Amino acid sequence: MHPTIFETHRPAAKIVEDSLAGTKLACFWTEDVADRAARYPALDGDTRADDAVVGGGYAGLWTAIKLKTAHPERRVVLLEAVRVGWAASGRNGGFCEASITHGEPNAEARWPDETGTLRRLGHENLDAIERFIEQHGLDVDFERTGQLAVANEPHQQEWLGEGDDPEVEVLDREAVQRRITSPTFLGGEFAPRENANLHPAKLAAELARHAAEIGVEIHEHTPVQRLDGSAEEPIRLTTERGVVTAERVALCTNVFPSLLKRYRFHTVPVYDYVLMTEPLTDEQLASIGWEGREGLADMANQFHYSRLTKDNRILWGGYDAVYFAGGRIKREHEDRMESHRKLASHFFTTFPQLAGVKFTHRWAGVIDTSTRFCAFFGQAHGGRVQYVAGFTGLGVGATHFAADVLLDRFEGRVTERTELEMVKQVPLPFPPEPAASIGINLTRWSLDRADHNQGKRNVLLKTLDALGLGFDS
């Protein structure tokens, strides 16, 4: 086994401890909009709607907007269990990537005949998001910055340039250092059209504002307990505050248990950990460069991701992706100092020139991981109910594409999107406990071993690759 750069070049323990000393266990993004985001009333009694959407994250908001825009005369109701954008949509890294398949290698491995089409549709999807934000004046700190993937280990340099996207620029050590200065960066790839940075909680709040302005009725603090219906009858959504009866229902509940039992084992909750620094001074920012403000990630199996905010804080997350035995979603899982301390150590290995910078916030988010690492689609009751989940941590942009798919399916349209194998196929479910815990944690161990063995994958990972299964950090 070969130690990684993060083990051979650890910062002094005091640098790490001092950086975390005053950190607040809270999501920077949601705290930043807490006093400005609109509140929406809870449901009060039984009601009827033409279309109902369950889930007030990006997928639900985009779907509600598209349903109402397509048919202004129809009544569209959105039901959210807590607050709009409070979960994954408001606490992610703030990357809006073009890929709708969790990266092109994932598409190449699973749908090689569709890779080019999926890449084009991904770029068109990100372009459409940008146009929508500009057209409707959404204040979401949108920056089309591109994506920089860096190699921190010699074996990762061998992976540079393996893709077939002609727009990707391969960078040697000198070129990558001109973009971002770090002693760990040995080379990289820059994809100019692959990413935009944005403020995730602002995006959720602004989408909700726009949805309400065009007539979508939003109800927060209204968890749906049960779904009943058939192909011939309207769908009934039962809540503590009343029953919503609708002709069509879109289920966009992300990591939370599906209201359709057939999909209960198709996702598992995986916790991802994040740090946010204080705003950098001009001198600190100059020491790392980063004038292009690119979205940043490294090329390991257990990878880090990073970006600059509007006020020049650095968000630093990833690496640890933790599945807790039993698959329960619990608030206490967010407070994992072991993961946040590890992230801080890796941050100062990457940017030793920033020693002394403090982290103001630390938090975690729950990822709805599927066995194919990207969103899948389902339906029930003769198509009256449409479903999407499994974004696996790369859903900021992909949720917009998913909403287009749901609208096509509701309208009975056969389109390029609906005919994709990626859309038509449903991935294999995860096994029940305790097999899920054993399999997931063994796979995570194997990924870590690969990172410590020059990227070489063991028999388990090769088998999972061949079966189209696995686990991704």
Same domain as 121, residue 63 = yes
* Residue 402: band (very low, low, confident or very high) from pLDDT cuts 50, 70, 90: very high
Examine residue 194 and state whether it is found in any structural domain, yes or no. Answer: no
Same domain as 52, residue 96 = yes
Q: How far apart are CA 398 and CA 389, in angstroms?
A: 11
Examine residue 473 and state whether it is found in any structural domain, yes or no. Answer: no
Q: How far apart are CA 202 and CA 403, in angstroms?
A: 19
Same domain as 245, residue 129 = yes
Q: Which pLDDT belongs to residue 470? A: 52
Mean pLDDT of 189-211: 97
Share of the chain above pLDDT 90, in %: 87
Q: Which pLDDT belongs to residue 468? A: 62
Same domain as 352, residue 308 = yes
Same domain as 276, residue 256 = no
Same domain as 217, residue 315 = no
* Residue 456: band (very low, low, confident or very high) from pLDDT cuts 50, 70, 90: confident
> Sign of the CA dihedral 444, 273, 119, 409?
positive
Same domain as 352, residue 311 = yes
Report pLDDT digits (tens) over 142-163. 999 999 999 999 999 999 998 7
- The residues, any chain, with a CB within 8 Å of residue 331's CB and separated by 6 or more, are none
Examine residue 195 and state whether it is found in any structural domain, yes or no. Answer: no
Whether the Cβ atoms of residue 80 and residue 244 lie closer than 8 Å to each other: no
Whether the Cβ atoms of residue 356 and residue 368 lie closer than 8 Å to each other: no
Other CB atoms within a 10 A radius of the CB of residue 434 amount to 10
Q: How many domains does the chain have?
A: 3
Report pLDDT digits (tens) over 227-253. 999 989 999 999 999 999 999 999 999
Domain carrying residue 231: 39-135+200-266+372-424
H or E stretch covering 3: none
Residue tagged 């460069």 (tokens) = 289
Q: What is the pTM of this model?
A: 0.96
Report pLDDT digits (tens) over 124-140. 999 999 999 999 999 99
Mean pLDDT of 102-107: 88
Examine residue 140 and state whether it is found in any structural domain, yes or no. Answer: no
Report pLDDT digits (tens) over 77-95. 999 999 999 999 999 999 9
Same domain as 97, residue 115 = yes
Examine residue 328 and state whether it is found in any structural domain, yes or no. Answer: no
Q: How far apart are CA 337 and CA 343, in angstroms?
A: 10
Residue 473, pLDDT above cutoff 50: no
- CATH at residue 222: 3.50.50.60
Same domain as 452, residue 417 = no
Examine residue 171 and state whether it is found in any structural domain, yes or no. Answer: yes
- Greater pLDDT, 182 or 473: 182
| Burial class of residue 155 in the structure, from the number of CB atoms within 10 Å of its CB (0-12 exposed, 13-18 middle, 19+ buried) | middle
Q: Which pLDDT belongs to residue 105? A: 85
Residue 288, pLDDT above cutoff 80: yes
User: Helix, strand, coil % (nearest 5) of the chain?
Assistant: 35, 25, 40
Q: Which pLDDT belongs to residue 319? A: 94
The three-class DSSP label of residue 156 is helix
Same domain as 313, residue 412 = no
Mean pLDDT of 268-294: 97
Examine residue 457 and state whether it is found in any structural domain, yes or no. Answer: yes
- CATH at residue 301: 3.30.9.10
Mean pLDDT of 382-400: 96
Same domain as 402, residue 366 = no
Q: Which of these ranges, 208-212, 261-265, 456-460, has the smallest mean pLDDT?
A: 456-460
Same domain as 419, residue 283 = no
* Residue 467: band (very low, low, confident or very high) from pLDDT cuts 50, 70, 90: low
Examine residue 232 and state whether it is found in any structural domain, yes or no. Answer: yes
